Chains A and B, each alone.
Chain A
Amino acid sequence: MNTLTEYISIWKSVPRFRLSMMVMIGITIVLFWMIIVSVGIGAVAISPSEVMAILLSKIGIAAGESFTPVQESILMNIRLPRVFLAVLVGAALAISGAAMQGLFRNPLADPGLIGVSSGAALATAIAMVVLSTLTWPVIELLGTALIPISAFAGGTFATVLVYRLSTNKGRTNVATMLLAGIAINAMAGALIGFMIFMADDDQLRDLTFWTLGSLGGAMWSSVWVVLPFLIAAILFLPLLSKGLNAILLGESEAKHLGIRVERMKKFIIIFVGLAVGAAVSVSGMIGFVGLVVPHILRLWIGPDHRFLMPGSAILGGLLLLGSDLLARTIVSPAELPIGVITASVGAPFFLWLLLRNREMSGYL
């Protein structure tokens, strides 16, 4: 690694490095500010200083600010796990999107592309419509965990399937993987349609809301279950940044630059599959984060994955946290599905980016 003096000289001499660093620091500060503010917003208001006081009291430091036990209970048991989950899910989805776009050398790739999301959705549909009506002891034991576990299993299964279909003699063909993903998406779509046809009115409503995504069910228990998978992707995928930069030149080119391309592909597929499967299992289908966040950053700081990967995680967390805040306050006391917010904010923004980009040069 570089020494501090080297970093300082890079900072001085490379404008893009300077811009990227400042953007990263900026969005990190905004993210922390947003966490403190958004845990205080809701039916019971908690001011930022009260939030700090409650958190400090938890580690044994008594702060001057006073707070009520209701505030403490709501913060600790309802708001914090939800905010925690929003940040982690947003970060994992966005960093998975950045990794996929790099791997496919295509700025339009998205974790949904290789079938993870639709595999998870199909498993959820089956769980809601078929499994939940059965009275097997296993299913009764699982209880409310049935749906997240099914979603996770479905997403992982779809990932493994796509990977197997596109890999021959240890080499993964990325174009085949894309096409296999399309086929699996279509297949899952058809089967989900069949489940919708079989579903009764209540199941139909549950299923529809699930596909639109929500963080409403967030509890510490669900946070702990998905945490390892999300954290693994968020911490590990940035280590592949240099390889992802090289693979943008082409797979052979990356290999001739010393990258173990096949090993890198496997790592990306595994970590993205697990992270997206885990994210979908707790929050349903949340579209657009994986696609839009890396794009925004790329237009802002350029395509270097060494900044793009960690930056996507931070900005993704920020975006989903903001969207969730909107989702739970805009029609309060009811809640909008978060997928409605991310798509209705993300899609026009994305179009605006494309139009602006078309006028500037036409390259992403």
Chain B
Amino acid sequence: MIEAKNITVTINNKNLVNNVSMNLQPGKFSVILGKNGAGKSTFLKALTGDLSPTSGSVLIEGKELNAFSPLDLARKRAVMMQNLHLAFSFTSLEVVLMGRLPHTKGFESAGDREIAFECLRQAGVEHLANRTFPTLSGGEKQRVQFARMLAQLWNSIENSQPCCLLLDEPLSSLDLAHQHSVMQLVRNLSGKNVAVLMILHDLNLAAQYADEVNVMKDGRTYALGSPNEVFKPDIIEMAFDCPVHIMQHPHHHCPLIIAASENKRFLMNAV
């Protein structure tokens, strides 16, 4: 669906992203992990076209990214960025309806409104439909944004056509229950022919839900593979500069990562 080939992004002679490749396919849930400043968001921006890579190429269905018009892209790909700032008093429902923008001419029809309501319901925020967006809490805003992504890809998801969802830390303001409900939703989406790429900080969420994990360090791919392949103590310790214990999850067949208590080194440095 989307293929990133040897992406390098150089800004001010610093390689923020260095020769990173990924292949996003419908039905596969990919996650990027890494320390702060590892180049995760920069790589995602290169993938979305917000940033043009210094070298390398992004192919969508085998064609160059530039070959698509913004409207064509919007119909098959939704992108959720971090920290959305909206100073105008749209309601949550109107924000989600903007996800229907690539699919409508004129005003949103009754059908579009039904879709928007259903997306709000799936994201667990239908009770906020008529609240003005700027008055919502951080986590509520994030879930309304997620509902907007669902609304944008709704047609493809319903018709099982391949489409793509790119998410930059969509869980950063969510509580425990909602982190899992959004991850479960994304998991279900990837079962419906959606190619998903998510930037994440919680290793255990990645271990439990992802099909493929790309651990980035200093702009490079440090490890790429299934959670069971990637979540090894030495890899995680090197990539995150934090020693960890890794055990088997008691209920799911996936690794469980716990930061080891001997990270006094980090604490000493901080002092």
Instruction: Check: A356 CB closer than 8 A to any chain B CB.
Output: no
Residue of A with least CB distance to B72: A258
CB of B105 within 8 A of CB of A1, answer yes
Give the chain B neighbours of A107 by CB distance below 8 A: 87-88
User: Is the Cβ of B107 less than 8 Å from the Cβ of A306?
Assistant: yes
Q: Kindly specify which of B4-12, B75-83, B190-198 makes contact with the partner chain.
A: B75-83
Q: In the complex the two chains form, is B79's CB within 8 Å of A252's CB?
A: yes
Residue-wise, chain A 247-269 has the 8 Å CB interface mask toward B (1 for contact) of: 01110110111111100000000
Which stretch (A7-15, A112-120, A226-234, A284-292) binds chain B?
A: A7-15
Once bound together, how far apart are the Cα atoms of A255 and B75, in whole Å? 12
Instruction: Tell me if A257 and B85 are in contact (CB < 8 A).
Output: no
Give B213 Cβ to nearest chain A Cβ, in Å.
25
Which one of A122-130, A296-304, A313-321 is at the interface? A296-304
Q: Which of B50, B71, B78 contacts A252 (CB 8 A)?
A: B50
Nearest chain B residue, comparing its CB with the CB of A248? B88
User: Is the pair B75, A258 in contact by a Cβ cutoff of 8 Å?
Assistant: yes
Q: Closest chain B residue to A1 by CB distance?
A: B106
The residue from A17, A246, A253 contacting B81, defined by CB atoms under 8 A apart: A253
Question: What is the chain A residue whose CB lies nearest that of B70?
Answer: A258
How far is B156's CA from A17's CA once the two chains are assembled, in angstroms? Answer: 28
CB atoms of A258 and B101 under 8 A apart: yes
| Residues of A contacting B85 in the complex (Cβ-Cβ under 8 angstroms) | 105, 250
12 extra interchain contacts, Cβ-Cβ under 8 A, other than A2-B105, A248-B90, A252-B48?
A: A6-B107, A9-B109, A10-B108, A105-B88, A250-B81, A252-B79, A255-B70, A256-B74, A261-B70, A304-B90, A363-B89, A364-B87
Interface centre among B85, B101, B132 (most CB of A within 10 A): B101
The interface on chain A, measured as residues whose beta carbon lies within 8 A of the other chain's beta carbons, has a size of 35
CA of A259 to CA of B69, assembled, Å: 9
Q: Which of A6, A7, A258, A306 has the most CB of B within 10 A?
A: A258
In the bound complex, what is the Cα–Cα distance between A256 and B44 (angstroms)?
13
Q: Are A260 and B70 in contact (CB under 8 A)?
A: yes
- Chain B interface residues toward A at CB < 8 A: 48-50, 69-75, 77-79, 81, 84-90, 94-95, 98-99, 101-102, 105-110, 113, 132, 134-135, 152
> What's the Cα separation between A236 and B162 when bound, in Å?
36
* Beta-carbon contact of B90 and A302 below 8 Å: yes
Contact A258 B79, CB 8 Å, known A298-B88, A302-B89: no
Which residues of the partner chain B approach A9 to less than 8 Å between Cβ atoms?
109-110
CA distance A176 to B95 in the complex (A): 27
Q: Does chain B have a CB within 8 A of A222?
A: no
A361 at the interface (CB under 8 A from B): yes
Bitwise interface map of A from 208 to 250 toward B, beta carbon under 8 Å scored 1, else 0: 0000000000000000000000000000000000100110111
CB < 8 Å neighbour of A256 from B48, B72, B86: B48
Write out, one digit per residue, whether chain A residues 189-221 have a CB within 8 A of any chain B CB (1) or not (0).
000000000000000000000000000000000
- Pairwise interchain contact B102-A245, C-beta atoms closer than 8 A: no
In the complex, chain A residues whose CB is within 8 Å of the CB of B86: 248-249
